[in-house]
Amino acid sequence: MGDAKYMNKYNNEKMEEECGVFAMYSPVLMTDLAPLTYYGLYALQHRGQESAGMTLCDSFGENRVRHKTIKNMGLVSEVFSVDDLRSYTNNIVIGHVRYSTTGSSNIQNCQPLGGESMMGKISIAHNGNLVNIQKLKEELLEEGSLFQSTSDTELILKLLGKNSKHGIEESIRRTLSRITGSFALVMIINDKLIGVRDAQGIRPLCLGKKDNGIYVLSSETCALDTIGAEFIRDIEPGEFIIIDENGVKSYRFNSSAVKAPCSFEYIYFARPDSVIDGIDVHSVRYEAGKCLYRQQPVEADVVIGVPDSGITSAIGYAEESGIPYGVGLVKNKYMGRTFISPTQELREISVKVKLNPIKKVVEGKRVVVVDDSLVRGTTSKKLIQMLLDAGAKEIHFRLASPIVKSECYFGIDISSKKELIGSVMSVDEIKEEIGANTLEYLTLENLRLILRDNDFCMGCFTGKYPIANANK
């Protein structure tokens, strides 16, 4: 990891998701499939802003199963041109947006990754993080495998190639039996589109369909909405599907694991207009805001939300409390990838570039500020100071999630408790550190109540993980 990336990580308040995946299968060749994938990835841009890529497959041409991969560092709009994409005729496309957790931020780790095998050409894109990568990599290196990246996605590709003599279905089964962790995969193997979701369902993946028999796979339903596809169902934990000219066929590779989708998808990662495993993200955040007021009522003049993921909870808080909701913070919508600046002065400015208070809304007022989570505390402290400088009389800080105090091993960029303010300070100490008059987190009990059951991974809150020995 480069110095700039390292420093940016430790100065970023939010936890970041590793990536998003999107894929399409058409029974006929099309020129619109790649542009539709572009817009699907655009809808998933919030899941990763470091790089983007897609692999295009023409399985009907003279050179059967032609795979062409386009990828680079940057946002979707920077990597692809819709006009250029229209020059390709294809019937299968897989796409990817990335934020690096395992593997450094460079062009070698951009996805999809691909190669030749006994099954034919393979291209793969992955959202998640493997927890047994070191052991498997050492095994493959001893067998003579060469690695060109530091991404765990390449390891999955190598295992598929190693097992390719067994055919597509068995190769997938054997590969999935060796890997442990979180993964939502989209793959092109020869002339077939494959979707895979890990045994616990930690990372989301859903299936949709457009007119004319076009199938779609996506990390979130919001991307289906964007391209006018109908939601069919979520891919089940421990399931993989194969899509080809005969339609969709489902297979199970693990039915014994305990289902445990990531709770942070609902708190922060997913777009509020997505539905994951039948639960509406918007409703979860709205109810969290209502619960926050009921937990610790406070007298105040205005409720504001931190854009974007804190706004829905702020509206819920305002409606439950009767305190007026106000737009007190403006977010710069044109922020792309950001790197930490070399001087303290420029670092301070970078925070103001992202968010700026509306003085008229907060001046002389007791302000309730609702955010989705508090991770490292650096940005929250600067935000509160900006609101005080704008004339706010009091700041009552509210978090629509429990205290984040443990590592995540499944695709979030929290690898050490030392990064987490909630693991080293009490709530009162955090309140003093960030400069708030009061501080309240959503309780774990209320989060479980809102999510309607306990079958969720809450390891970052509890230190208990759905995969045994994940930290090893």
The amino acid at residue 49 is Q
Question: Helix, strand, coil shares of the chain as percentages rounded to 5?
Answer: 35, 30, 40
Burial zone of 389 (CB within 10 Å; 0-12 exposed, 13-18 middle, 19+ buried): exposed
Task: Return the structure tokens found at 294.
Answer: 């009921």
* Distance separating alpha carbons of residues 188 and 53, to the nearest angstrom: 14
* Distance separating alpha carbons of residues 183 and 178, to the nearest angstrom: 13
Q: How far is CA 446 from CA 161, 253, 373, in A?
A: 46, 34, 15
Q: Per this entry, what is the length of the chain?
A: 472
Contact indicator for 235, 307 with CB cutoff of 8 Å: no
What residues are paired with 22 via a beta bridge?
Answer: 95, 218
Q: What are the counts of helices (DSSP H) followed by strands (DSSP E) for the chain?
A: 18, 21
**19 catalytic per annotation:** yes
Tell me which of 19, 206, 222, 460 is the catalytic residue.
19
* Distance separating alpha carbons of residues 337 and 333, to the nearest angstrom: 12
Question: What interhelical angle do 168-176 and 152-162 show, nearest 10?
Answer: 130
* Distance separating alpha carbons of residues 302 and 67, to the nearest angstrom: 55
Q: Which segments of 44-142 does DSSP mark as H helices, in order?
A: 76-79, 82-85, 133-142
Radius of gyration of the chain, Cα coordinates, nearest whole angstrom: 23
The amino acid at residue 266 is Y
DSSP SS3 for 144? coil
First CA to last CA distance, the chain = 21
Residues that are catalytic: 19
